[in-house]
Structure 1
Amino acid sequence: MSGLSFRYGPAWYGFHIYLTTSGSASPIPHVVEGTPMRKRRAAFVAAGVAAALAATTACGSGSDNGGSDAANFEAKPSGTMSYWGFDNPDDVGQARLDHAAKQLDGVTIESDQTGFDAQKFTTRLASGNVPDVVQMDRELVLTYAAQNLILPLDTCLSANKVGKDRWYPSVVDSVTYKDQIWAVPQFYQPPAIILNKTVMDAAGVQDTDIDTSNPDKLLAAIGKMYKANGDVPSTLGFNPQAIGQTNLWLVGMGGRLADENGQPALDDPNNVAALELLKKIVDAQGGFAKYKSFTDSFDMFGEKNQFVQNQVGAEVDAQWYPNVLSPYKDKIKLAAVPFRGKDGNPVTASSGTSFVVPAKAKNPAAACRWALALTEDGSWTAAAEARAATVKQKNSIDTGLFTGSPVADKAIREQFVKPSGNAGFDQVISTYYDIVDKGKSVGASPAGQQIKQELLNALTAALLGSKTAQQALADAQAASMDAYKTVTGG
């Protein structure tokens, strides 16, 4: 990792991670709904601290507060409820907060609108001074669930007559452990491949050539579009987002991070195949170091972004990114294709955030109702209306909201996503809607934090060529298994 540093870029409805080769990230003038990822580095560092401290607190955390029985979740919400999350809520976030507050009439709601920090959460858990509900990445949920530091929410759902069919299967699977649901999920930003038709047309590359299920065809298309000044890239044929969208490449090749029991599975042979393909792609475009240095220079959220500047021919992007590009619709010519798995079928990976109720929560009934109110259809409709007003004011394009709920997604698309007059953008938007039900999970694990870090280490080593993909993943698996045994006690 020498010479490498983390950079966090916000997603329109969620989050994205990048890896930079030098310096620090430039400020990104983009307000997002939810918790930004600038705390992710602290979360990784604090993972070991959280696990160690949890060992001293977990014994009594699940039963001495009375919050885990159905009666508490069935109680009429009253009193004071505190939440931690919604750092800098945008139009979508504020509309949802307003809607949820109306559903808890008579409840005093107190907020800590800062980003989630694992070390801060650990400290609060140890002191017993925890909020009633906390917003965190779904990948972190099982770490706390395995230690009984948060409450299972099955009785919360049943008391409020909510079934798990409110969410896409891959979304709810990511917060399920030992046949119990441990969080209320929100958002799901499926990645697909955005095409820069200006670059593709000039190189004679067709949409069907950008086929991740056919590496030979894909690499040939990359070769036609790739340009360099000397040995420095000037146009990438294809930006695979190797760091930010690693999970997509894993599920596309049939891989996973954890098995059905939550045990790490980083050394899955399909994961090896995914990393080997990623290495071929970056090697065909100057190698990982030059590729990363070039992509780090992108003005990703600005008027000189990589599509306007024709710095990419195609790029893997999450669903939020077309919204970022929409102000420049008259300067770019876009299309999109789905990411295809090794079987040739469209596939995508789910990610997003969620709400958990700490085991020491003082008002679990209100916390449960509030979290569910934020993710019910009425909340998403209010959010979509707010977004539509913003779109109209800015003369932009409504790219839709991808909520994590299939019913809400369908309703929002039908009511708010209309033909824009830009055929390329409309086709891009349609592609994301076409793949949203193709989501697969890489698996959820109590060692999720450590697995994420070890995967990043393995990926970096493999792409730099300091280890083979197989060796890098074997090392990552060993480290993750140690963490898994620590967290689960076996």
Structure 2
Amino acid sequence: MTRARVRWIAAAAVLTLGVAGCNGPSIGSREPTGSAPANPFSTEVSGALRTSGFNPADEVGQSRADYAAAQLSGVTVTMDKTNFDAQKFAAQAASGQTPDLIQTDRAIVATLASKDLIIPLDQCYEAFGVKPREQYYPSVVDDVSYDGKIFGIPQFFQANALLANKRVLGQAGVTAADLDTSKPDAIVATAKKLYQEKGGKPTVIGFDADLPGSSAMWFTVFGGAAYDEQGKPTLDRPENVAALTWMKQLMDAQGGYPKVKSFKDSMDVFGAGNQYVKDQVAVQTWAQWYPNVLADTKDKVSLEAVPIKNSAGEPIAMAGGTSFAIPKSGKNPSAACAWAIKATSSEAWMAAADARIETVEKNKKLFTGLMTGSPVADQQIKDKYVKPTGNAEFDQVIETYYSVLAKPVTSGSSPVGQTVQQDLTNAVTVALTGEKTPEQALADAQESSLRAWEQATK
């Protein structure tokens, strides 16, 4: 998604200037006159449905697409399976040729909503009797909300946790109890103890906090945030400065960010010689999907998962992800609504889990869980399929990831969310490399993001 985020910034002016007057077919225009307008979304759907950005490349995606299509027998679905592209979408919106349904990063949703390019979906949920904050994690609903309305139908909430290499920890005399992120100074000391180098080059990373990618999560750990409840950037708030100062200390304790990044870039992250097999890391931040990758080398790794805790000592679950949204100029909003609701229903997710289990059993692999954007579906899948694997360490990892779901935390929503994320990435990078102090880096990032905010909220 990083490339799409960069392209979005380049396309922002096009979106602002080129499509401000594009009004395509509006569902609101169909409302009958009277004091109680009918819900413009119908559950009786037909015709053509064009989607973009959703690629059912694996059994999870394909089974959900098949389930949704089976529920909408009168609808012909055509998919553009390429990733969402801001420039392409801007051009489509300008010409009134947008697809009926898009899949995009949740961080983009509020930006699209603020530019009047997508429509609110509160009445879409209402038409199908779905209570969004019950069917989906409230935190991911918050991620796709703007100006008091919901603009997305979320997918996936694959929470982060610390994934520790028990062999490396044991060799250094470190235990999981030493990986308490509510004690950041202790984490720096532990990272330094675990870190190893040879000839001035890292051979073992002690504590990889996934920087700059997970910077916003570490802001949350320190009690900060990238923007406030209204979506206004708050990059330079004291808690964020403290978090970035800690990130710099953490990297400096392990040879410095450039060396750590270079070493990470050389790792075979998805292969048989991955960093846990080769004992190149002690602790890393990973989302729930990565243990599924490591299951291919289950006999060569020794793992333990540890929840990420905030400064109050409470485990938290944060995760990015995608969402469906309906373009304002789409021609079949009711079918788009119906398909997205069905594709993210508990029934669709159970069909996905059935398909994943079939693949797991066929290939004699471990099932490490399947986390969705829905607590209802997650619990159903866990109850039916998450059983002892025969590998006690993987069982502990799986259970830890499920346990943190009890404390989901929103990434927040802002009409300038993409700009803030890019400014944050730049700020963290220059602070970690020592080009600027954490205070100056975040002050400069705040100035840039605030300009974008002021333009977006005029």
User: Normalising by the residue count of structure 1, what TM-score does the alignment of the two structures yield?
Assistant: 0.89
Distance 1:188 1:337 in 2: 18
1:6-405 matched pairs, under 5 angstroms: 37=1, 40-59=2-21, 61=23, 64=26, 66=28, 71-74=39-42, 76-87=44-55, 89-164=57-132, 165-405=134-374
Task: Return 222-231 or 50-59, whichever deviates more.
Answer: 50-59
Q: Aligned-pair distance for 1:57?
A: 2.4
Task: Return 270-279 or 377-386, whichever deviates more.
Answer: 270-279
Distance 1:88 1:79 in 2: 21
Assess if the C-alpha contact under 8 Å between 2:320 and 2:411 holds in 1: no
User: Could you report, residue by residue, the CA deviation over 1:70-96 in whole angstroms, capped at 9, with x for unpaired residues?
Assistant: 543125111111111223520100000
Structure 2 match to 1:22: none
* Amino acid in the other structure paired with 2:337: C
Distance 2:387 2:261 in 1: 37
Classify the secondary structure of the residue corresponding to 2:174: coil
Task: Return 324-333 or 268-277, whichever deviates more.
Answer: 268-277
CA RMSD between the two structures: 1.5
Structure 1 stretches of 4+ with a deviation exceeding 6 A read none
Task: Return 71-80 or 401-410, whichever deviates more.
Answer: 71-80
Distance 1:479 1:130 in 2: 30
Q: Aligned-pair distance for 1:332?
A: 0.9
Assess if the C-alpha contact under 8 Å between 1:250 and 1:442 holds in 2: no
User: Could you report, residue by residue, the CA deviation over 1:196-250 in whole angstroms, capped at 9, with x for unpaired residues?
Assistant: 0010111110110011111232222222221100210000111111122222211
Distance 1:101 1:88 in 2: 13
Structure 2 match to 1:26: none
Distance 1:67 1:193 in 2: 50
* Amino acid in the other structure paired with 2:74: G
Are 1:438 and 2:407 counterparts?
A: yes
Distance 1:338 1:323 in 2: 18
Structure 1 match to 2:34: none
Q: Aligned-pair distance for 1:389?
A: 0.6
Assess if the C-alpha contact under 8 Å between 1:136 and 1:353 holds in 2: yes
Assess if the C-alpha contact under 8 Å between 1:85 and 1:135 holds in 2: yes
Classify the secondary structure of the residue corresponding to 1:74: coil
Amino-acid identity (%)? 47
Structure 2 match to 1:6: none
* Amino acid in the other structure paired with 1:232: K
Classify the secondary structure of the residue corresponding to 1:316: strand
Unmatched runs of 5 consecutive residues or more in structure 2: 32-37
Distance 1:411 1:193 in 2: 25
Are 1:459 and 2:428 counterparts?
A: yes
Distance 1:467 1:105 in 2: 58
Distance 1:161 1:481 in 2: 39
Classify the secondary structure of the residue corresponding to 2:405: helix
Assess if the C-alpha contact under 8 Å between 1:384 and 1:412 holds in 2: yes
* Amino acid in the other structure paired with 1:459: V
Assess if the C-alpha contact under 8 Å between 2:197 and 2:204 holds in 1: yes
Assess if the C-alpha contact under 8 Å between 1:189 and 1:320 holds in 2: yes
Assess if the C-alpha contact under 8 Å between 1:62 and 1:148 holds in 2: no
Distance 1:158 1:71 in 2: 8
Distance 1:161 1:339 in 2: 35
Assess if the C-alpha contact under 8 Å between 1:43 and 1:119 holds in 2: no
Q: Aligned-pair distance for 1:48?
A: 4.1
* Amino acid in the other structure paired with 2:11: V
* Amino acid in the other structure paired with 2:85: D
Q: Aligned-pair distance for 1:418?
A: 0.9
Assess if the C-alpha contact under 8 Å between 2:22 and 2:94 holds in 1: no
User: Could you report, residue by residue, the CA deviation over 1:77-130 in whole angstroms, capped at 9, with x for unpaired residues?
Assistant: 111111112235201000000000011111111111111111001110001011
Are 1:411 and 2:373 counterparts?
A: no
Assess if the C-alpha contact under 8 Å between 1:151 and 1:359 holds in 2: yes
Assess if the C-alpha contact under 8 Å between 1:91 and 1:383 holds in 2: yes
Assess if the C-alpha contact under 8 Å between 1:84 and 1:134 holds in 2: yes
Assess if the C-alpha contact under 8 Å between 1:195 and 1:314 holds in 2: yes
Distance 1:123 1:302 in 2: 39
Distance 1:422 1:309 in 2: 20
Structure 1 pair 166–75 and aligned structure 2 pair: CA distance change class (3 A): closer
Structure 1 pair 42–60 and aligned structure 2 pair: CA distance change class (3 A): closer
Unmatched runs of 5 consecutive residues or more in structure 1: 1-36
Q: Aligned-pair distance for 1:470?
A: 1.2
Structure 1 pair 190–440 and aligned structure 2 pair: CA distance change class (3 A): same
Classify the secondary structure of the residue corresponding to 2:280: coil
Q: Aligned-pair distance for 1:182?
A: 0.3
Classify the secondary structure of the residue corresponding to 2:352: helix
Distance 2:24 2:182 in 1: 46
Structure 1 pair 100–63 and aligned structure 2 pair: CA distance change class (3 A): closer
Distance 2:320 2:242 in 1: 22
Q: Aligned-pair distance for 1:429?
A: 0.6
Q: Aligned-pair distance for 1:253?
A: 0.9
Structure 1 pair 458–68 and aligned structure 2 pair: CA distance change class (3 A): farther
Distance 1:318 1:277 in 2: 21
Distance 1:436 1:353 in 2: 18
Distance 1:260 1:236 in 2: 36
Assess if the C-alpha contact under 8 Å between 1:213 and 1:342 holds in 2: yes
Distance 2:15 2:255 in 1: 45
Classify the secondary structure of the residue corresponding to 1:388: helix
User: Could you report, residue by residue, the CA deviation over 1:39-96 in whole angstroms, capped at 9, with x for unpaired residues?
Assistant: x324423324234433342345388564785543125111111111223520100000
Distance 1:88 1:389 in 2: 17
Classify the secondary structure of the residue corresponding to 2:235: coil
